[in-house]
Amino acid sequence: MSRHYAVFGHPVSHSLSPRIHAAFGKQAGIAIEYSAIDVEPSGFDAALQDFAARGGAGANVTLPLKEAAYALCSDTTERARRAGAVNTLIRNGDAWHGDNTDGVGLVRDLTERQGLDLRARRTLLLGAGGAARGVAPALLDAGIGDLFIVNRTPARADALADMLGQPGRVHVRYLDDLRNLGEFDLVLNATTAARDGGSFPTLPRSLLGRRSAAVSLSYGEAAIPFLAWARAQGAHESIDGLGMLVEQAAESFARWHGTRPDTDRIYGELRAESARLVTAD
């Protein structure tokens, strides 16, 4: 039986993961069969069982299934446990082993590709879902300063702060508090408002200064509203999630195949295509 890999999400037709893993496989001389599987949360368990029965050996998991994936794993890595979310599944006998490569992917992109020094940066994290859970522990490990979490549903922000377990360094605030929080060195958007078809929330200008960096965990059209806002406020850097996507994929590939691919070529290709699309518009 051939070994299959896939990305699960809803929606998932926009995903670049199949192309990225095909490029990694070509680079490593490994034949890759990697598909995109669209499934709603209610059908995820059954879809994953069917995938395993058809020879599924590993999978990536994107929104809105990362926390559900964590619950379906028989064992997980420490970084997945710290996040309470899984974006990488590895078949282990008759069970799934879960990992989370989002955080290391984000930090690697920001520090090594974008050249940001994250140390002591006063940071605002917008969102508290699976994507936010995946990156928050890694940001703290990278040495950011105080982390403020703001989410539309306060209970989810509280749960994320409790999970991170660093009172005095991690703070929960609410949407109405944003205008009173002052300026941040780093603002990350982990919300799904633009992706889900909703309107991007109005954010106060005071959040960003001339030395601030604004980072979207999304890429493509879903990242545009937040990054446009950041540029309009004069942010020093405005960065989308394309680099994070490529770097977390490389970490997943290494978990499955035992070799970590070079990411520069596929990132360069995707970035060039993205620039051409913006120019065409």
| Residue 66 structure tokens | 């990362």
Residues in the chain: 281
223 is in an annotated binding site: no
| E-only strand ranges, 133-207 | 147-150, 170-173, 184-189
CA separation for the pair 139, 22 (Å, rounded)? 29
258 is in an annotated binding site: no
219 is in an annotated binding site: yes
62 is in an annotated binding site: yes
Q: Which residues pair with 173 in a beta bridge?
A: 150
58 is in an annotated binding site: no
87 is in an annotated binding site: yes
| Residue 81 structure tokens | 């446990």
From the candidates 4, 21, 66, 82, which is the catalytic residue? 66
> Which residues are CB-contacts of 6 (< 8 A; sequence separation ≥ 6)?
34, 35, 36, 37, 51, 56, 59, 60
216 is in an annotated binding site: no
Around Cβ 193, how many Cβ atoms within 10 Å? Answer: 18
What is the enclosing helix (H) or strand (E) of 96? strand 95-99
241 is in an annotated binding site: yes
205 is in an annotated binding site: no
Tell me, yes or no, if 26 is annotated catalytic. Answer: no
CA separation for the pair 94, 185 (Å, rounded)? 46
131 is in an annotated binding site: yes
129 is in an annotated binding site: yes
168 is in an annotated binding site: no
Say which residue the tokens 């619950």 belong to: 71
CA separation for the pair 162, 27 (Å, rounded)? 42
Annotated binding residues for shikimate: 15-17, 62, 87, 102, 219, 248
Annotated binding residues: 15-17, 62, 78, 87, 102, 127-131, 151-156, 217, 219, 241, 248
Annotated binding residues for NADP(+): 78, 127-131, 151-156, 217, 241
Residues involved in catalysis = 66
